Amino acid sequence: QKEVEQDPGPLSVPEGAIVSLNCTYSNSAFQYFMWYRQYSRKGPELLMYTYSSGNKEDGRFTAQVDKSSKYISLFIRDSQPSDSATYLCAMSGALTGANSKLTFGKGITLSVRP
C-alpha cells in the first residue's frame, strides 16, 4: 500500500460545479497537510496548508482533514475554467528534520468546462 493514495482521474466538471478532491494515507505520523495546484509544465503552487484535523477555508477553497479516518479533502466551490490543473495532496510528519519531507499523492487532473 502506498503511503498516500489519490485517484488520478481525470475529472471533468461544468463551470460552477462544486469539486471534491480526496486523498487517503496510511502513515499516522503525518501532521501537516497541503494541497498544491500545478499547471502544465509549471511548478506546484501552494493552495492550502492545514495542521492536524479540522477545516480551513480560503475563498472558494476549503480543506478538510480527518485524521481518525486518514482522509483529506479539498473542495472547490463555483469552479472556473481557470481551475483546470493538476491537484496534488502532500503531507509530512514534522516541520523540520527527516520527517519534514513531503510525501505527495499522484495528483488528479481537473478540467472545468465552460
Partner 1 sequence: GAVVSQHPSWVICKSGTSVKIECRSLDFQATTMFWYRQFPKQSLMLMATSNEGSKATYEQGVEKDKFLINHASLTLSTLTVTSAHPEDSSFYICSAGQGSKNIQYFGAGTRLSVL
**According to CB under 8 A, which one of 36, 47, 74, 87 is a site residue for partner 1?**
36
Do 6 and 76 contact (CB within 8 A), yes or no? Answer: no
Mark residues 16-35: x for contact with partner 1 by CB under 8 A, - for none. Answer: ----------------x-x-
Q: Is 76 in the site for partner 1 (CB under 8 A)?
A: no
* CA dihedral for 63, 37, 61, 5, sign (positive or negative): negative
- Nearer to partner 1 by C-beta: 19 or 88? 88
**Continuous segment of H or E residues that includes residue 76:** strand 71-76
Residue 110 cell numbers, joined:
481537473
Q: Is 49 in the site for partner 1 (CB under 8 A)?
A: yes
